[in-house]
Chains A and B, each alone.
Chain A
Amino acid sequence: MKLLTGNDLATGDVIWWAGDGWSRHIAEAVDVGPHAETLAAVEEAARRVNGPYAIDATQGPEGPRPAHIKDRIRAAGPTVRADLAIRPADANRGEWVI
């Protein structure tokens, strides 16, 4: 599957395209199929996202999982600061990233 991601223009937060808007949680991300480019252009022009780009991911039991570790770290937060993770209570986060 393909996901669309980028950063919130004002806050810099990592965000994922969730079908009807942007979410901070990758679990809510949806497959953008062949529409990544068009969506990215529209959303960037509307200043709802900064630097959008499409990534490959697979659908797993806990939702989409990016193919590249860089995007998994973006999705989860720094691996060395569990307290700053997007979902700090998630004990399986480490395994999901690595």
Chain B
Amino acid sequence: MYKYDEYDQAIVDARVEEFRDQVRRRLAGEISEDQFKPLRLMNGLYLQLHAYMLRVAIPYGTLNATQMRMLAHVARKYDKGYGHFTTRQNIQYNWIKLDEAPDILAELATVEMHAIQTSGNCIRNISSDQFAGAAADEVEDPRPWAELLRQWSTFHPEFTYLPRKFKIAVIGAEEDRAAVKLHDIGLQLHRNDAGEVGFRVFVGGGMGRTPMVAPVIRDFLPKADFLSYMEACLRVYNRYGRRDNIYKARIKILVHEIGAAEYARQVEEEWAHVKTLGLDAPAAEFERIAAFFAPPAFETGLSDTIDRSDPDFAVWLDQNVSAHKAPGYAVVTISLKPTGGIPGDATADQIDLMADLAERYSLDELRITHAQNVVLPHVRKADLYAVWQALDASGLAAPNLDLIGDIIACPGLDYCALANARSIPLAQKISQRFAATQHDLGELKLKISGCINACGHHHAGHIGILGVDRKGVENYQLLLGGSAAEDASLGRITGPGFDEDGVVDAIERAVDTYRSLRTEGERFLDTYRRVGMAPFKEAIYG
């Protein structure tokens, strides 16, 4: 894992003291809320329905046990004993007091954490593949590049006031576990015909009000040109992005309006100039960063045999454990989606337990996933049963990864000031309704947003749900056919919306339709793509 150098630490420490003074001035009445609001947002502090909310950055979703324990400590000392892991691989605390926020940031800084780039129209916290450095299908570890992006984008003076927020994801595998095509910029390390590794660059994806799947604007970008090309991409956007209309200000609108080919041409033109400025990281600096991500010292000669005699363990093993690149090791995904639970929420005690397990069994590493789960990336197969037992004793062994119970849900109207409808109660009802049948249904990604901002990725759900406000009453639109994976697609609305119970019933009818139509090995999404909307619509609306 990356370790701060003196510059990283100095920047973060200075930011804490700056914010402490800003909070003092706000509480003393020296600055108004209008003046203060952009300053607190730049430090991840929002005002939500019930209190201030602090969003803490977890760069590319990677952290160690010490950092995870700090997250538990913050939950316990400054919040109400829990935190909410988000679809941006971050954590949010819902009950923060303004006068304590600087102390929280100061405590986070002691373990190289902060809340920078979690709000505002800047380049946001970089996201990545939660299996990076462990995945069996990886071409190259994307995290050194994500870290380079983090350093390049932190307080980048030219890109601090972009037309809108800007999200970048980096992966290094064919399987897309980070939804790169639904980011402003998605980067995929891959090998070209000559055997060299470089980036495929997707630009202009996103969800929200106008969802779009990003087109490829360059199929192969040499690694040496990485930062200068990113700079060119951002410059073209910064220059031509629509600042006149907040709903048209994201880069996806620019790319859509002028076309991917024209955007790419403008980037190439800008790049020809930018390349001469010496902005690319010197090879030595990249090597310094990359060294922090060198593969850990995996033990050799380990057995791949796992004792499956405990049937509950075997179910979890089949569902939540993935292949690791090193023999004798496996990747564990801890589902934060117990049946009837709140997706992404974890108590301080659970966070501590996950930290302990990481330290003892996963070479001191954890990852947060965009599906609001937690990963132990490097677990010896021989330790899986002990890990499962510890998780099971703490309500963390839900064996439902990628099943219908593994629901992505935003905080919705229970917490969020922008929401139209609640998301969490729906997730609870759906996970309860399908608890007994979910394994038979196979992979079925269900995603819920409480408003059009789509933090719950509803456009990209095999089944998506969008909460809307119909004359002051919660109403839910149902979408089918979305995907955030390498086969990215956007869901289509089935028809008129439903109330809370109505949408759960409608999902059951859609699922029954899938069951009656599926062929061997077909997922819900495959069946939908093969037969189209009509049979589902007929079953749902009768």
Contact = CB atoms under 8 A, between A and B. Distances in A.
Interface of A: 7, 9-14, 44, 47, 50-51, 67-70, 73-74, 77-81, 84
12 contacts: A7-B47, A12-B47, A12-B51, A12-B97, A13-B50, A47-B27, A47-B29, A68-B472, A73-B414, A78-B50, A79-B425, A81-B414
B399 to A, nearest CB: 23
Contacts of B424: 78, 80
B51 A13 contact: yes
B96 interface: yes
Given A68-B472, A81-B342, 11 more contacts: A9-B27, A12-B47, A12-B98, A13-B51, A51-B47, A73-B413, A78-B415, A79-B414, A80-B424, A81-B414, A84-B80
A10 B47 CA distance: 11
Contacts of B342: 80-81
B474 A69 contact: yes
Contacts of B287: none
A13 B47 CA distance: 10
B269 interface: no
A70 B472 CA distance: 9
B15 to A, nearest CB: 21
Interface in B415-442: 415, 419, 422, 424-425, 428
B49 interface: yes
A10 B99 contact: yes
Lowest 7 A-B CB distances belong to which pairs?
A: A12-B51, A78-B414, A12-B52, A80-B424, A11-B97, A10-B99, A74-B49
B312 interface: no
Nearest to A86: B50
Interface residues of B, number: 27
B50 A14 contact: yes
Contacts of A68: 472
A11 B51 contact: yes
Where chain B touches its partner, the secondary structure class is mixed
B219 interface: no
Contacts, number: 65
A80 B414 contact: yes
B538 interface: no
B33 interface: yes
A51 B52 CA distance: 12
A69 B97 CA distance: 24
Contacts of A11: 51, 97-99
Contacts of B47: 7, 12, 50-51
A69 B419 CA distance: 11
B340 to A, nearest CB: 10
Interface string B128-150: 00000000000000000000000
A77 B50 contact: yes
A73 B424 CA distance: 13
Contacts of A9: 26-27, 98
B50 A10 contact: no
A81 B294 CA distance: 43
A67 B471 CA distance: 11
A79 B422 contact: yes
B336 to A, nearest CB: 14
Contacts of B99: 10-11
Contact of A74 (B50, B97, B473, B474): B50
B413 A12 contact: no
Contacts of B98: 9-12
Contacts of A51: 33, 47
Nearest to B53: A12
Contacts of B96: 12
A11 to B, nearest CB: 5
